[in-house]
Structure 1
Amino acid sequence: MIITDGTVVNVALPTLQQELDFTQDNLSWVVNAFVIPFGSLLLLSGRLGDLVGRKRMFLIGLVLFTVASALCGLSNDQTALIVSRFIQGVGGALATGVILGKMVTLFSDPRELGKAFGIFGFVLTGAGSIGLVLGGVLADALSWRWIFFINLPVGAAAVVVALLVLEDDRGPGIDRRTDFLGALLVASGLMLGIYTIVKVAEHGWISAHTLGLGTVALLLLTAFVIREAKAAQPLLRLGLFKSSQLSAANAVQGLYVAAAFSMFFIGALYLQLVLGYDALKIGLVFLPMSLVTAVISLGFSAKLNARFGNRMMLVVGLIPVVAGLALLTRLPVDGSFLVDFLPAMLLLGAGGGLVMPALTALAMEDAPPEDAGLAGGLVSTMQQFGGALGVAVLAASSTSRTADLLAEGKNQQEALTGGYQLAFGITVGFVLGCLAIALTVLRPRRPAAARPSAPEPGESATAAAEQSR
């Protein structure tokens, strides 16, 4: 529900602009008001889950997101909608930031945890295109308000199931020794950093706005790192990054998501501006990729990871992703779905179905149980930063290339296509970077099936892996 909400809104933007009298500049805040708090609070949410209980944080975030969805649907002016979207982003971060940490402590059997990671990977890669289809159907058949109202029954059902199914997990709690200054520094630094990135398209990379705010964001995050090195009870234990496995997996995470998010963004622009597709048709173009991802990630990824190891399956999965993106660099002005898009979507779906479960497992392997929420929040934060930065880089690059081609005398369609081809070429570079890190830094480990003993009941998957090593 939360991931889908990130794309479902895009479909309704033209209608929102007309009904609520948004200017073009203000319209972007319907998206940004969600993205900025969501991306900046994931890390903090993960750590708060470790301290006060992940089930409690999940429920607080879920209720807040659902209530904010109702407020969005009831909004009758721009301010009300933007404020409600901000609250949605906060609630989404509180719920999402603890999910991976909860999964790691919930499943003691590595094979069951592998299945959970497969479901999680499908949600991340498939929910975007599902959101486009759902948004198109709801906006056309009912009203833009229903893209928010649809969250109410889903959110209510999720709260009930969570209350009945999830076990309580009490952390050490929050007291006067808790690093509140560190929390303020990291939240403000990440929020300002994401704001700077999403406004790059408007101000440019070397503008005073981008360089000034970017510098302040870096200073805040640097102050946070210094604070954590000296704090008696740090919010983020810097020793966690001594694990090359965790650091490398998160670096791959950022690069891969930068490529994946940007592919959706640039692909949708090509389909809309060059081929003239409407929102619903664009969503249907991406649907085959989601279906293939579902089959691979839900049906095969856990068994393959257990048999061959997470690192091996990550490498294998990245190869069809590179091939699919390379095909998109050859998109013509008069492209067709069957010839030019479908083969790439099938390759990207197959690769994504292998990559995300393996990558999630690699990023969480070295996290001790008491830091599982923090590690999960870090994974989610890298995804958001990677996505925002990737879209900013590719949007600027494609726009610049399009302007150059127009200056050379190309027509609008040819110039746009040339810009999008360059952008897809950059995504190929991102994924090749993922391959390089996976082959040189990530170390192969014995797959779960080959381990000498299964974990004892109640023993965490992380502890079992550590014992095996």
Structure 2
Amino acid sequence: MSQAAHKAPGAAGANRWTALVFISMAQLMVVLDATIVNIALPSAQQDLGISDGNRQWVVTAYALAFGGLLLFGGRIADMWGRKRSFITGLLGFGAASALGGAATDETMMFAARALQGAFGALLAPAALSLLAVMFTDARERARAFGIYGAISGAGGAVGLILGGVLTEYLNWRWTFFVNIPFAVVAAFGALLFVHEPKGESHRSTLDIPGVILSTTGLVSLVYGFTRAESNGWSDSVTVGLFVAAAVLLLAFVVVETRVKAPLLPLRVVTERNRGGVYLSLGLAIIAMFGMFLFLTYYLQVIKGYTPVRTGFAFLPLIGGMITGSAVIGARLMTRLPARLLMGAGYLVAASGMFLLTRLEIGSSYTSLLLPAQLLLGLGIGTAFMPAMSLSTHGVEPRDAGVASAMVNTSQQVGGAVGTALLNTIAASATTSYIKDHVAGAATRSQQQLIQMQGMVHGYANAIWIAVGILVTAAAIGLTFVNVGRQSGGPGVVAGAEGEAQVPIAMH
């Protein structure tokens, strides 16, 4: 009996780390799916006869459902149980992926992408909140969130590599089918190894007005930025969507202050540390999504890389993120205050982004793109690790799911904003450059050269904005986040001045 008692904690610890493998696998599936389909889109468009005007819906349908339903998904996880929500989200995502891979027309494809987004909105917050309740010891928590943060940060680049390989050597449909084994294995592993603390789900009435207002408000906001990218900022529908989003989200805040069981208790976002995390993460994602977009076009259009070669060209970024998160961030999180890690990480990333402002047609991959990606990866990985951990700092157990959903919401909205905002800035700078220089082009080859120079000029202009955004994220992290370093004790963080001890999510 005594031996069993001594073995139990070790077995439970081993189960936690095994569970982390399957939770991370699920997170990787959701994150890489945001980019894996992009490389396959031209082939899918041709096979399914999707018009140029409608092709954006392959990406937009996923983003709208995912971004719009995240808060709802987070609250469902809190009420219904995180493990149950996690497994349901996995199986639903796998089924939706099978539907997308078997699509025979554009309607079937758009429906599959919307379903992927909806189940992803249930799965993602459940995964993050499971980590929050399973890893309460500070050092274990640092390592767990280091791994999770690295996967979250690198998933987009992994999607580019995997999408390129599958599209070039198999078929675009495999960019969907590849999710099925991920989902099945992760769900099976979760059944065996994920053990949510008993009594953690809180059954209460669902805030229906909050669900409707938050979902329609976030959908309007995400779609507004998506439409701005293709139709311009002055388009009447774009402006209408932004106005509607502002009205709906303001009404949502008012409702949340008055209902007994709010969808998003305002205490989750008004606490300065969590608020700083959500805001700085959203800004960092704006910059990162813009960088992914411009580097992908630069490598394929300007440098003539194949999809597979483009994907592998992002490997230094992935390596940097993994090192920054799982090695640097995880080791320093128990030694330094989180604000210093976040601030320094974002500034290192800004220095990498700054190198990319020197981009030219003949820029060398080895001397410019390689060091820029390494700095970006190291910086973002180092900053994301404490940010992910602090996203549930101090929340009550009943709010862990919705606090986790706010991380994903800030990332999703940040991705939509970054793609639209930076792409619009780049397009405007490109048009202006070509207009100023094309008159001097006498031959066709000279005109093509000026067009390419204009594109690179546009990328560099937008990347300057991304540098400023990362510096702003650093300032927010240094200003808002005032908790100290995580101590070695179970589930505590040193206070703002390094003296008092306050609980990290008392689960």
With normalisation by structure 1, the TM-score equals: 0.94
Q: 1:446 to 1:306 in 2, by over 3 A?
A: closer
Q: What is aligned with 1:464?
A: 503
2:134 aligned with 1:106, yes or no?
A: yes
Distance 1:216 1:319 in 2: 35
Distance 2:155 2:71 in 1: 22
2:279 aligned with 1:251, yes or no?
A: yes
Q: What is aligned with 2:469?
A: 430
Distance 2:238 2:490 in 1: 52
2:227 aligned with 1:227, yes or no?
A: no
Q: What letter corresponds to residue 418 of structure 1 in structure 2?
A: H
- 1:240, CA displacement in angstroms? 2.8
Match of 1:445 among 467, 480, 484: 484
Q: What letter corresponds to residue 149 of structure 2 in structure 1?
A: G
Q: What is aligned with 1:291?
A: 319
- 1:273, CA displacement in angstroms? 2.1
Q: What is aligned with 1:267?
A: 295
8 Å CA contact 1:309, 1:448 repeated in 2: no
8 Å CA contact 2:150, 2:322 repeated in 1: yes
Q: What is aligned with 1:420?
A: 459
8 Å CA contact 2:346, 2:379 repeated in 1: yes
Q: 1:6 to 1:465 in 2, by over 3 A?
A: closer
8 Å CA contact 1:22, 1:78 repeated in 2: yes
Q: What is aligned with 2:379?
A: 351
8 Å CA contact 1:262, 1:391 repeated in 2: yes
Distance 1:116 1:183 in 2: 31
Q: What is aligned with 2:52?
A: 24
Distance 1:226 1:115 in 2: 39
- 1:446, CA displacement in angstroms? 3.8
Q: What is aligned with 1:130?
A: 158
- 1:369, CA displacement in angstroms? 2.0
- 1:5, CA displacement in angstroms? 1.1
Q: What letter corresponds to residue 238 of structure 2 in structure 1?
A: T
Question: What is the CA deviation profile of residues 293-336 of structure 1, one whole-angstrom value per residue up to 9, with x for unaligned ones?
Answer: 22332233212111112221112212220110000000111122
Aligned positions of 1:167-316 closer than 5 A: 167-168=195-196, 169-170=198-199, 174=203, 177-316=205-344
Distance 1:336 1:14 in 2: 28
Q: 1:441 to 1:108 in 2, by over 3 A?
A: closer
Distance 1:295 1:242 in 2: 32
SS of the counterpart of 1:182?
helix
Distance 1:420 1:466 in 2: 42
Q: Percent identity?
A: 36
Distance 2:211 2:381 in 1: 34
8 Å CA contact 2:67, 2:219 repeated in 1: yes
With normalisation by structure 2, the TM-score equals: 0.87
SS of the counterpart of 1:206?
coil
Q: Which moved more, 1:247-256 or 1:287-296?
A: 287-296
Distance 1:408 1:192 in 2: 37
- 1:447, CA displacement in angstroms? 3.3
Q: 1:290 to 1:81 in 2, by over 3 A?
A: same
Question: What is the CA deviation profile of residues 72-96 of structure 1, one whole-angstrom value per residue up to 9, with x for unaligned ones?
Answer: 1111111111111111111111100
8 Å CA contact 2:71, 2:264 repeated in 1: no
**Unpaired stretches in structure 1, ≥5 consecutive residues:** 457-461
SS of the counterpart of 2:394?
coil
8 Å CA contact 1:310, 1:361 repeated in 2: no
Q: What is aligned with 2:177?
A: 149
Distance 1:185 1:296 in 2: 38
Match of 1:117 among 116, 133, 145: 145
- 1:206, CA displacement in angstroms? 2.0
Distance 2:128 2:193 in 1: 16
Q: What letter corresponds to residue 442 of structure 1 in structure 2?
A: V
2:83 aligned with 1:55, yes or no?
A: yes
Distance 1:354 1:329 in 2: 22
8 Å CA contact 2:229, 2:419 repeated in 1: no
- 1:359, CA displacement in angstroms? 1.4
SS of the counterpart of 1:199?
helix
Q: Which moved more, 1:64-73 or 1:179-188?
A: 179-188
2:431 aligned with 1:392, yes or no?
A: no
8 Å CA contact 2:71, 2:402 repeated in 1: yes
Distance 2:39 2:201 in 1: 43
Question: What is the CA deviation profile of residues 271-303 of structure 1, one whole-angstrom value per residue up to 9, with x for unaligned ones?
Answer: 222222221111111111102222332233212
8 Å CA contact 2:73, 2:405 repeated in 1: yes
Q: 1:166 to 1:226 in 2, by over 3 A?
A: same
2:65 aligned with 1:37, yes or no?
A: yes
Q: 1:318 to 1:173 in 2, by over 3 A?
A: closer
- 1:174, CA displacement in angstroms? 4.7
8 Å CA contact 2:289, 2:418 repeated in 1: yes
- 1:455, CA displacement in angstroms? 5.0
SS of the counterpart of 2:454?
helix
Distance 1:204 1:160 in 2: 46
SS of the counterpart of 1:235?
coil
Q: What is aligned with 1:80?
A: 108
What is the alpha-carbon root mean square deviation over aligned residues?
1.8
**Unpaired stretches in structure 2, ≥5 consecutive residues:** 1-28, 439-449, 493-500
- 1:173, CA displacement in angstroms? 5.0
Q: What letter corresponds to residue 364 of structure 1 in structure 2?
A: T
8 Å CA contact 1:52, 1:171 repeated in 2: no
2:122 aligned with 1:94, yes or no?
A: yes
8 Å CA contact 1:305, 1:447 repeated in 2: yes
